[in-house]
Homo-oligomer: A and B are copies of this chain.
């Protein structure tokens, strides 16, 4: 029986946060895509104008999962939350931590009067899709994701 606590991350948690980011990226078959570092997380998330928020699930003095989100803006609805990553470490799946983290994220969305909470899921990630469907999410296949990466941005006018 575990007694997890959900709380906002501190900068001391960035090492554990980075480990979770890596773990999810490997699961999503994109481990080599991660360029994030602990110091970038500390700089971008724990200074005067944090670019994101992180809720962590802590148990036995160990961080077992997190919800990583930021404020986004919908031109149709207004201030919203984008859930960038909801991650529970593989070996702690099935302990209910994902639901605890999602619930805590919803509470923050309620406090912010967020008009929407949105996130993305890979089309083959059935456990996640089923988890999100059970939570009542609308899952929509009609939007494609478009992207330019850093190199393409840098060289755009060359």
* A interface residues (Cβ-Cβ under 8 A, vs B): 21, 24-25, 30, 33-36, 40, 44, 51-52, 68, 70-79, 82, 84-85, 103, 106, 109-110, 114-124, 129, 132, 135-150, 152-154, 156-157
Q: How far is the CB of A111 from chain B (nearest CB, A)?
A: 11
Contact A153 B71 (CB under 8 A): no
Within 8 Å by CB of A137, from B137, B138, B147, lies: B147
Contact B146 A132 (CB under 8 A): yes
Nearest opposing residue in chain B for A106, CB measure: B156
Q: How far is the CB of A53 from chain B (nearest CB, A)?
A: 10
Contact A148 B138 (CB under 8 A): yes
Contact A143 B121 (CB under 8 A): yes
Q: In the complex, what distance in Å separates the CA atom of A8 from the CA atom of B119?
A: 28
- Given contacts A33-B76, A78-B35, whether A138 and B147 have CB atoms under 8 Å apart is yes
Within 8 Å by CB of A146, from B25, B75, B121, B156, lies: B121
Contact B146 A78 (CB under 8 A): no
Q: How far is the CB of A84 from chain B (nearest CB, A)?
A: 6
Contact B36 A157 (CB under 8 A): no
Nearest opposing residue in chain B for A43, CB measure: B78
Contact A121 B144 (CB under 8 A): yes
